[in-house]
Amino acid sequence: MNDRAALELLAAHGPLTRTRLGELTGLSKPTASQLLTRLESVGLVRTTGNVTGRPGPNAQLYEIDPAAAHVAALAVDQEGITAAIADITGRIAGEYRVTAPATDESVTNRTGELVAEAVDGALAAAGLGRDDLHSTVIGTPGALDPRTGTLRYAPHLPGWQSRTLRDELAEVLHTPIVIENDVNLAAIAEQHHGTAQDFDDFALVWADEGVGAAIVLGGTLLRGATGGAGEIGYMPLPGAPLARGGPHAAARPDGGGGFQKLVGSPAVVELAREHGIDAPTATKALTAALRTPGAGDEVLTELARRLATGLASVVAVVDPELVVLSGEVAQAGGERLRRLVETEMTGLALPRPQLRISEIEGDPILIGALRTAVADARQTVFDTARFDA
């Protein structure tokens, strides 16, 4: 217990002296010294210089040895796979991107091969090999059904539908595999590094190529019986066709209808075009709308109305203290869109949560996957009892 407490403190605070570690753990100096010697001998802690500029002898600094374990994190989207490698401290050592459009039939039966290519590329960038990996976390659209092992709610990723997908990938990479919903991982990033750090009850709404939500209650992610909690892209709303699926909608992330047809990136491009703003992406469409009086104001107001209508349904059911808007649409619309949504929410739902735009820098899905992978690795690596077995 003392070992784990010391390791967690070193992970949280960075390099510490023996004296400071003793103060934080309540251990005596001799006990703290013995503990650090033991952790250093098993490769979990290393010295990293001295504290200078103080009276008396220079104090030795100790830190987690970054080489104690490395993890892989992957973010999967319709255009490819991004992989990142981090050490046990969470520092990213290498990244790599594999382009693999889901619409290309040649990638359907190559999921394991593409994942391996992405991980190997990131490992090479980090100067590491597969034997250095401890665990892997993969963020994908949809969610892995805990009862069947099948990836649900992601028909637009045809190569990821195998019932034995997790075992197949574990065999390829030779590490334990966690497959997590991408929006849930974005919420984990927001919970630990972003605007939701001080909130135990919040919802993150993701508006991008896909639309979804992550619900955190009491500090814990709500996943649902089939992993589908937060799949609000399918949610029926006025003005959107119903997402009934069927043969023509099977390969579409929105099932042919629902909330996503109103606020997803393609819907934003279409909305802007209806008002005379022609742009290839939602980001460019909203950037143009923000600087175009008249037509741009109409685009932003209508988009805010659509977002508020969907958010009102989420808020009425969950009653979160905070709603975080994330994804391409929210980031491009920025503070002006947030204010408009907040105004449109008035009267739509009795609860009035705070509404904020995500402040995560970088890919929140990849950041959340890294956070999860590092936390999982520490659970095992920091268990020093295994060295005594």
> What's the confidence (pLDDT) of residue 52?
62
- Residue 318 is encoded by which pair of tokens? 């969950």
d(CA 135, CA 170): 9
CATH number, domain of 14, equals 1.10.10.10
Give the mean model confidence (pLDDT) for residues 370-386.
Answer: 87
* 154-166 pLDDT per residue, tens: 888 888 888 888 8
In sign, the C-alpha dihedral spanning 269, 257, 109, 131 is positive
What mean pLDDT value characterizes the chain? 90
- Residue 57 is encoded by which pair of tokens? 């002898």
> Which pairs from 51-60 meet CB under 8 Å and 24+ separation?
51/17, 59/17, 59/18, 59/19, 60/17, 60/18
Residues 116 and 205 in one domain: no
Q: Rounded to the nearest 10 degrees, how much is the dihedral formed by the CA atoms of 67, 68, 74, 75? A: -90
- Residue 324 in any domain: the answer is yes
Tell me which residue range forms the domain holding 229: 197-357
* 306-361 pLDDT per residue, tens: 999 999 999 999 999 999 999 999 999 999 999 999 999 998 877 899 999 999 99
- Residue 115 is encoded by which pair of tokens? 């994942």
In sign, the C-alpha dihedral spanning 189, 194, 197, 199 is negative
Residues 218 and 146 in one domain: no
d(CA 142, CA 151): 6
Residues 244 and 291 in one domain: yes
Give the mean model confidence (pLDDT) for residues 180-203.
Answer: 96
pLDDT at 130 exceeding the cut of 80: yes
- Residue 389 in any domain: the answer is no
Give the mean model confidence (pLDDT) for residues 184-199.
Answer: 95
pLDDT band at 132 (very low <50, low <70, confident <90, very high): very high
Give the mean model confidence (pLDDT) for residues 211-232.
Answer: 93
* 27-43 pLDDT per residue, tens: 888 888 888 888 988 88
Q: 379: Cβ–Cβ under 8 A, 6 or more apart, which residues?
A: none
pLDDT at 55 exceeding the cut of 50: yes
Nearest in space to 365 (alpha carbons), one of 177, 139, 195: 139
pLDDT at 57 exceeding the cut of 70: no
pLDDT at 249 exceeding the cut of 60: no
pLDDT at 213 exceeding the cut of 50: yes
> For the chain, what's the residue count?
389
CATH number, domain of 280, equals 3.30.420.40
Residues 133 and 262 in one domain: no
% of the chain at pLDDT higher than 70? 93
pTM recorded for the entire structure: 0.90
> What's the confidence (pLDDT) of residue 247?
41
Q: Where are the alpha helices (DSSP H) in 175-226?
A: 182-193
Contact indicator for 52, 58 with CB cutoff of 8 Å: yes
Residues 54 and 77 in one domain: no
% of the chain at pLDDT higher than 90? 62
* 252-265 pLDDT per residue, tens: 555 668 999 999 99
